[in-house]
């Protein structure tokens, strides 16, 4: 089940982690099932206005094939047409959005990184806040212990007034990452927060002031800290549920002695 607008891909109701480029390519292929899409068409769809090497397309197609698995007939969902391009070999059936619910909770903690707010208000700096958001999504996706919601889904919440309840309801995630950036000369200030989407509770917040040339190292640091916090919180929640899940049956009239 592919929802291009939400940026989600489900297989047997289980979310499949596919990057933004891969989802864009799959959406383009399934929009014209059975037809041959040239390499140029696909590259324009996934990398609009950008000159990229053809090898990038090959890598994305290979990743998609691995994620989709074998087709029912044992072949591949995406066929290579030598010297031309690719075509989607399966059947596409439109499904009304109301016919399927939110993504079911996976076996590992789910997290969405919402678009970082451009606090300076300079339209020329919007690309910087979007780029930081996308890079943190990419870095978090490297942690196999986390299910990271795709960019398309997260970016529908591009507004300063964050409604955690709405994000929780629409994305079906346990954790949200929100933040803001402000460019001050050759330095940048990044504020980031980790939020429990179910309760709206702020679990962690931090502010960073760094030189612009240190931005990539900072993104890696932020992603690692967030992943560590989510893993620790998940373990704590699991232990809490385990304690609450154990009960003791007592004879009628007996009293249990509870520790203070």
* Same structural domain, 134 and 207: yes
State the CATH number of the domain containing residue 55.
1.10.10.10
241: in domain: no
8-22, 151-165, 190-204, 208-222, range with greatest mean pLDDT: 190-204
Ordered DSSP codes for 171-227: H--SEEEEEEEEEETTEEEEEEEEEETTTTEEEEEEEEEEEGGGHHHHHHHHHHHHH
* Same structural domain, 128 and 205: yes
User: Which residues touch 150 (CB under 8 Å, ≥6 apart)?
Assistant: 7, 8, 18, 19, 20, 23, 137
More confident residue, 131 or 8: 131
56: in domain: yes
pLDDT at 24: 87
* Same structural domain, 93 and 123: no
* Same structural domain, 147 and 200: yes
Task: Read off the pLDDT of each residue in 155-168 and give the average, rounded to a whole number.
Answer: 74
pLDDT of 25 above 50: yes
* Same structural domain, 77 and 143: no
pLDDT digit string, tens, across residues 79-120: 999 988 999 988 888 776 544 444 544 567 788 888 888 887
For residues 172 and 103, the answer to whether their CB atoms sit within 8 Å is yes
pLDDT digit string, tens, across residues 175-223: 888 888 888 888 888 888 888 887 888 888 888 888 877 777 777 777 7
172: in domain: yes
Distances (CA, A) of 234 to 84, 160, 229: 48, 27, 9
Q: Within a 10 A sphere around the Cβ of 190, how many other Cβ atoms?
A: 22
Residue 85 corresponds to which tokens in the numbers above?
Answer: 């391009």
Q: Please give the mean pLDDT across all residues of the chain.
A: 76
pLDDT of 40 above 50: yes
* Same structural domain, 133 and 180: yes
Q: Which domain holds residue 156?
A: 110-234
pLDDT at 39: 92
* Same structural domain, 130 and 20: no
What percent of the chain is modeled with pLDDT above 90? 11
Angle subtended by helix axes 20-31 and 39-46, to nearest 10: 130
* Same structural domain, 95 and 151: no
174: in domain: yes
pLDDT digit string, tens, across residues 72-82: 777 888 999 99
pLDDT at 233: 67
State the CATH number of the domain containing residue 210.
3.40.50.10070
* Same structural domain, 80 and 144: no
* Same structural domain, 33 and 133: no
Total count of domains within the chain = 2
Beta bridge partners of 180: 117, 191
252: in domain: no
């Amino acid at each position: 089940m592919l929802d291009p607008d939400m940026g989600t891909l489900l297989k047997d109701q289980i979310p499949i982690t596919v990057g933004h480029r891969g989802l864009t390519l799959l959406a383009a292929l399934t929009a014209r099932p059975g037809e041959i899409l040239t390499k140029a068409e696909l590259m324009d769809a996934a990398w609009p206005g950008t000159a990229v090497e053809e090898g990038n397309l090959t890598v994305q197609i290979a990743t998609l094939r691995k994620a989709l698995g074998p087709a029912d007939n044992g072949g591949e969902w995406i066929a290579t047409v030598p010297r031309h391009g690719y075509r989607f070999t399966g059947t596409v059936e439109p499904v009304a959005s109301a016919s399927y619910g939110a993504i079911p909770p996976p076996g590992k903690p789910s997290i969405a990184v919402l678009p970082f707010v451009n606090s300076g208000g300079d339209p020329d700096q919007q690309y910087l806040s979007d780029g930081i958001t996308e890079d943190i999504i990419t870095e978090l996706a490297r942690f196999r212990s986390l299910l990271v919601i795709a960019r398309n889904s997260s970016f529908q919440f591009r507004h300063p007034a964050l409604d955690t309840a709405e994000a929780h309801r629409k994305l079906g995630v346990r954790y949200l990452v929100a933040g803001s950036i402000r460019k001050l000369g050759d330095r940048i200030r990044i504020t980031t927060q980790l939020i429990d989407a179910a309760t709206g509770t702020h679990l962690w917040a931090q502010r960073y002031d760094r030189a612009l040339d240190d931005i990539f190292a900072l993104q890696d640091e932020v992603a690692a800290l967030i992943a560590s916090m989510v893993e620790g919180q998940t373990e704590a929640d699991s232990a809490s549920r385990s304690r609450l899940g154990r009960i003791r049956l007592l004879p009628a009239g007996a009293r249990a002695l509870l520790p203070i």
